[in-house]
Structure 1
Amino acid sequence: MTTLDTRSSELPFPAGPPPAQTTTIQGDPQAAARRRDANAAAHSPSLMLIMMLATLGAVAYGVFLLDPDHRGDWLPYVLVIVAECLLLGLALLAMWTVLSSGYNPRDFAYHHARDRMFDAPEILRTGATDDPTRWRLYLHDRPVAVDIFITTCGEDVDTIARTVRAAMAVHGEHRTWVLDDGRDDEVRDLAATLGARYVRRLSSGGQKAGNINHALSIAKGELFVVLDADFVPKPDLLVETVPFFVRDDVAFVQSPQTYGNMHTLISRGAGYMQAVFYRFVQPGRNRFNAAFCVGTNVVFRREAIDDIGGMYTDSKSEDVWTSLQLHERGWRSVYIPQTLAVGDTPETIVAYAKQQLRWATGGFEILLQHNPLSPRRRLTVDQRLQYFVTSTHYLSGIAPLLLLLVPPLQIYLDLAPMRLDVSVGTWLLYYLGFYGLQIALAFFTLGSFRWEVLLLSAVSWPIYVKAFWNALTGKQQAWSVTGRTGGATSPFEVIVPQVLCFVFLLITSVVGVWKHGGDDGLPGLAVAWNITNTVILGGFLVTALREHRAAVREQRAARRPARATRPVRTTRTTRKVARTDRQTVTTGGAA
């Protein structure tokens, strides 16, 4: 249980309730330890050393590739240069960001505001010492009203229930709202049962952002939290974030997306892909005032959102666009690498593809429609670079497609990307100088080499090609929610390009072994490279086959007729009740 320390503050200036009423929260010591561990991970001298070595390796590899003396045939060479320059450039910018991660946003003002966030005499007077959800939150000598928004759109009711219960139990006085774009009466009844407020709007315009904007027309809190339906908040969510708003220019405080369902290959790969970003990259963006919102586990200042006319509704990636507009208006953002809510990452290929398509399309939209490097953008130089990295990040997902084409060009047409007098040893020396150190970074940051990340990175290029085309042509795709309920879908409906690519690579590997199996040097390297790509794609298709079989079983179970039951004798009373039920219509509204 959280305890109260009613010792008065000796600070000479007010930043909360009067000094005699100052409350210090003596929270869970394990939470404090987790905060220290999260900060220490990003500031580790060992990480800094590996990062600098990886930077040197990347530069050396780039010099090797661009040396005219090593240039081979123009077509495969151009493919390699374009792909590797994309990967090298984005890797260097990411490492520069991580090297800048020594900034700690928890400064004196934060700690002072946190110490004075609760009024101990008031809590004792109201008899709420054992119920932290009733403790009024204070900032700047006055109470601050907080709303927690849980956005839903067809998720499983049990999933929503877990999140609502946890949100109701968050420490600090607040109001919990269920924003139901799924228009589900069962969700409405759940909210009423648990004591949460319920909002159902008449249209779905603007998707999630429109849902939040509609709720803001009803709720009047000065701060509001956004939680996806599958992200279960921890009790200290507000205690850890609200004190940052003691600074009047802070627009939002973001915490990481942490996942609790990493039990399939896809969920592990998707989760690990995000881990480095949340543990190391986002903290580095704090130094440049460029940490951006990720759509959930975030606390906003209502005044800031009002200043930009509401959450951005013209993109499926409303979170990044909203962050960009706030930074252009001069607002500040804060990111804390501390888990304050645990949610679900995509567990299937279909769910992963839909999520990545939405995220990548939003990033490419920023690049093509609102280029951060444009002098018209009211951003600092650092912010321009950080948002440029964000908008171009998914181009690195297209690079594997270009590299997949290089070995077949050499196997079928004898077109080599590098000169044939370059020895395999020399090539591997520079190649491993970059990629080997990247693997070393993965070992340090994730604890081991996560092959699931390699697999997803190598096979996701059709998603990013489609996302770039969508952004280029302005094509809209349907909104998709991670964890949304519905019938199982076969993954082979969305991975046709990967299947065709696997067949092509498999044939190419056979041809390569037959044609170049006994050769030394680069031809043999091309065959080995192609076989590696074939094995990676084959592993992905094995996973897809397993998911397909599971989907077929689920569909068969859904079509199986219900077990026959004993007929019920119909009476005049039961016929009357049936007619009444058919005539009942339930409408939703704000509670």
Structure 2
Amino acid sequence: MLIMLLATLGAVAYAVFLLNPDNRGDLLPYGLVLVAECVLLALALLAMWTVLSSGHDPRDFAYHQARERLFDTPEILRDRATDDPTRWRLYLDDRPVTVDIFITTCGEDVDTIARTVRAAVAVHGEHRTWVLDDGRDDEVRDLAATLGARYIRRLSSGGQKAGNINHALSIAKGEYFVILDADFVPRPELLTETVPFFVRDEVAFVQSPQTYGNMNSLISRGAGYMQAVFYRFVQPGRNRFNAAFCVGTNVVFRRDAIDDIGGMYTDSKSEDVWTSIHLHERGWRSVYIPQTLAVGDTPETIVAYAKQQLRWATGGFEILLQHNPLSPRRQLTVDQRLQYFVTSTHYLSGIAPLLLLLVPPLTIYLDLTPMQLDVSVGTWALYYLGFYGLQIALAFFTLGSFRWEVLLLAAVSWPIYVKAFWNALTGKQQAWSVTGRSGGSASPFDVIVPQTLCFVFLAVTSAVGFWKHWGDPVPNLSLAWNLTNTLILGGFLITAVKEHRQAVRSQRAARRVRKRAARRTRLDRSSSPTVTAGGAA
């Protein structure tokens, strides 16, 4: 609480410093800094306001009472099912309830699907496990049958994941249903921790966090840590405002609530947030519990990360442009409007680094400065660190340390978010792709052309800056700023080079496997007996 309050004061002081007309420099760089920093400041203040509310515990007396009576002990003993928790019938208000677990798949690795299906079948509490296969894979069908799960394959792919779930709801008839992505392995207590919340009739869904088990590369660590504060502090804070939203997996829905809004929202690839906002507009409540109930995979490569972020950001911008939460037509509370507005504008903070990247070159090439020259470096650093320094201190507290991987990804992801905003603005449809673990064997340079060009430009600008200010007694702030940006982008490109080499090796290995398979096929055909009209040859 103390760090949060200090960070808030630091953000306000920095905003006052920036907005003071006496500190204004040349119009163009000052405007770039002002726009970028105001976006970051506004979103930071709203996020901290939400985090300050994260002490709210949704587990009230009704929840604890329902959890105590979730199982009928005499029934379990009578049926001799004490050793098989998957046969224990679930009760709410002394009435048995039915639950379906949906595992959505679309071309994921079969071994990955198998881990999730095996764990889902073993979840405590009587339920039915369904594999919803949009990949139309016979191997997945056979796997489901082997592991004791039911299998659903639809003929079309309309609506992507949401359409897949809606189709399953026309077949499965449980009162509650769980959604799991193919790579999120559930824990046995998934139902026992979530179902008791539905003792309150107004609860539409219960969401648990996305926790990752593959934090073993720079990209996977950065992508995972970027989500940590959101799941540990922001989502719990939204409970107080009835504004916690679904994140697409590790969630349990009440079927009546989804029926009330006509099914899962299918007109966006961010069906989770859109479904949530429609439920809240209809007066339903949501619950978020910061307890790991399933462990999955975060993107491990640049290609996979870019696809994931593009999909998420496009969905957020679609809400801002097509369904603005601040519109008086939305049937939301004031708190819900603000929370969904933060959600829909969150990825603007990813575009802000682009504006800040342009400021040092303006100073180096054109001698345009964002602040008055009589503002000392010490004064600038005091206010700057008052905001960013305390944000880093907050990261130390919430994540255990400062995660430089997060800084790197935040600084280089702006082309993804610019493209996402353009997609949402123009209505361009992005092809659906499974995030996966590795993103296939595609080269990362297929998706980071803007970052590569930006690195070259900043490197040249740094060289020009060294030439112009060689011999200056005082270090040049713009040159240091530009050099820092160059090094950050350079570190990212080193990671891309490593991934590119790995992708090339994977492609070569795949070609060798195909050639060996083709050679074996030819040998088998040449060695097999041939039957002619006159008999065997």
Does TM, scored on the shorter chain, surpass 0.5?
A: yes
Q: 1:178 to 1:120 in 2, by over 3 A?
A: same
Q: How many residues align?
A: 525
SS of the counterpart of 2:252? strand
Q: 1:528 to 1:446 in 2, by over 3 A?
A: same
Which residue of structure 2 lines up, in the alignment, with residue 421 of structure 1? 374
Which residue of structure 2 lines up, in the alignment, with residue 375 of structure 1? 328
Work out which of the residue numbers 123, 134, 140 in structure 1 matches 2:76. 123
Query: What pairs up with 1:289-438 in 2 under 5 angstroms?
Result: 289-438=242-391
Q: 1:389 to 1:520 in 2, by over 3 A?
A: farther
Work out which of the residue numbers 545, 548, 560 in structure 1 matches 2:497. 545
CA contact (8 A) 1:167 1:232 kept: yes
Q: Partners in 2 of 1:254 and 1:68 — Cα distance?
A: 46
Q: Which amino acid aligns with 1:168?
A: V
Q: Partners in 1 of 2:88 and 2:241 — Cα distance?
A: 35
**Is 1:531 aligned with 2:492?**
no
Q: Partners in 2 of 1:70 and 1:478 — Cα distance?
A: 47
Q: Partners in 1 of 2:168 and 2:314 — Cα distance?
A: 26
1:116-137 Cα distance to aligned partner (Å, 9 max, x none): 0000111011110000000000
Q: Which amino acid aligns with 2:221?
A: R
CA contact (8 A) 2:101 2:127 kept: yes
Which residue of structure 1 lines up, in the alignment, with residue 461 of structure 2? 508
CA contact (8 A) 2:239 2:286 kept: yes
Q: Partners in 2 of 1:275 and 1:176 — Cα distance?
A: 29
Work out which of the residue numbers 228, 241, 248 in structure 1 matches 2:194. 241
Q: Once the 2 structures are TM-superposed, how far is the Cα of residue 518 of structure 1 from its aligned partner?
A: 3.6
Which residue of structure 1 lines up, in the alignment, with residue 17 of structure 2? 64
Q: Which runs of 5+ in 1 are unaligned?
A: 1-47, 574-591
Q: Once the 2 structures are TM-superposed, how far is the Cα of residue 571 of structure 1 from its aligned partner?
A: 4.6
Q: Partners in 2 of 1:377 and 1:367 — Cα distance?
A: 12
Q: Which amino acid aligns with 1:570?
A: S
Q: 1:168 to 1:539 in 2, by over 3 A?
A: same
CA contact (8 A) 1:270 1:345 kept: yes
Q: Partners in 2 of 1:275 and 1:84 — Cα distance?
A: 23
Q: Once the 2 structures are TM-superposed, how far is the Cα of residue 519 of structure 1 from its aligned partner?
A: 3.6
SS of the counterpart of 1:562? helix
Q: Partners in 2 of 1:267 and 1:562 — Cα distance?
A: 33
Q: 1:262 to 1:320 in 2, by over 3 A?
A: same
Q: Partners in 2 of 1:441 and 1:261 — Cα distance?
A: 25
SS of the counterpart of 1:425? helix
Q: Partners in 2 of 1:159 and 1:250 — Cα distance?
A: 32
Q: Once the 2 structures are TM-superposed, how far is the Cα of residue 101 of structure 1 from its aligned partner?
A: 1.1
**Is 1:101 aligned with 2:69?**
no
Q: Which amino acid aligns with 1:161?
A: A
Q: Once the 2 structures are TM-superposed, how far is the Cα of residue 85 of structure 1 from its aligned partner?
A: 0.1
Q: Partners in 1 of 2:322 and 2:202 — Cα distance?
A: 27
Which residue of structure 2 lines up, in the alignment, with residue 89 of structure 1? 42
Q: Once the 2 structures are TM-superposed, how far is the Cα of residue 520 of structure 1 from its aligned partner?
A: 5.8
RMSD, matched Cα: 1.2
CA contact (8 A) 1:459 1:537 kept: yes
CA contact (8 A) 2:299 2:437 kept: no
Q: Partners in 1 of 2:277 and 2:439 — Cα distance?
A: 34
**Is 1:562 aligned with 2:520?**
no
1:136-193 Cα distance to aligned partner (Å, 9 max, x none): 0001221000000000000000000000000000000000000000000000000011
Work out which of the residue numbers 480, 485, 501 in structure 1 matches 2:433. 480
Which residue of structure 2 lines up, in the alignment, with residue 76 of structure 1? 29
SS of the counterpart of 1:52? helix
In the TM superposition, structure 1's runs of 4+ consecutive aligned residues that sit over 3 Å from their partners are 484-487, 517-521, 563-569
SS of the counterpart of 2:487? helix
Q: Once the 2 structures are TM-superposed, how far is the Cα of residue 516 of structure 1 from its aligned partner?
A: 2.0
CA contact (8 A) 1:153 1:484 kept: no
Q: Partners in 1 of 2:412 and 2:306 — Cα distance?
A: 11
CA contact (8 A) 1:439 1:449 kept: yes
Q: Once the 2 structures are TM-superposed, how far is the Cα of residue 354 of structure 1 from its aligned partner?
A: 0.4
CA contact (8 A) 1:154 1:484 kept: no
Q: Partners in 2 of 1:276 and 1:463 — Cα distance?
A: 21
Q: 1:397 to 1:58 in 2, by over 3 A?
A: same
Q: Partners in 2 of 1:481 and 1:487 — Cα distance?
A: 10
1:539-572 Cα distance to aligned partner (Å, 9 max, x none): 0000000000000000011111217556474357
Q: Partners in 1 of 2:529 and 2:438 — Cα distance?
A: 37
Which residue of structure 1 lines up, in the alignment, with residue 535 of structure 2? none
CA contact (8 A) 1:517 1:524 kept: no
Q: 1:520 to 1:246 in 2, by over 3 A?
A: farther
Query: What pairs up with 1:137-286 in 2 under 5 angstroms?
Result: 137-286=90-239
CA contact (8 A) 2:301 2:437 kept: no
Q: Which amino acid aligns with 2:228?
A: A
Q: Once the 2 structures are TM-superposed, how far is the Cα of residue 195 of structure 1 from its aligned partner?
A: 1.0
Which residue of structure 1 lines up, in the alignment, with residue 534 of structure 2? none
Q: Partners in 1 of 2:530 and 2:502 — Cα distance?
A: 46
Q: Which amino acid aligns with 1:448?
A: S
1:237-293 Cα distance to aligned partner (Å, 9 max, x none): 000000000000000000000000010000000000000000000000000000000
CA contact (8 A) 1:156 1:485 kept: no
Q: Partners in 2 of 1:534 and 1:520 — Cα distance?
A: 23
TM-score (norm. length: structure 1): 0.88
Q: Which runs of 5+ in 2 are unaligned?
A: 532-537
Q: Partners in 1 of 2:397 and 2:434 — Cα distance?
A: 32
Q: Once the 2 structures are TM-superposed, how far is the Cα of residue 482 of structure 1 from its aligned partner?
A: 1.6
Q: Partners in 2 of 1:520 and 1:244 — Cα distance?
A: 66
Structure 1, 480-489 or 370-379: larger mean CA deviation: 480-489
TM-score (norm. length: structure 2): 0.96
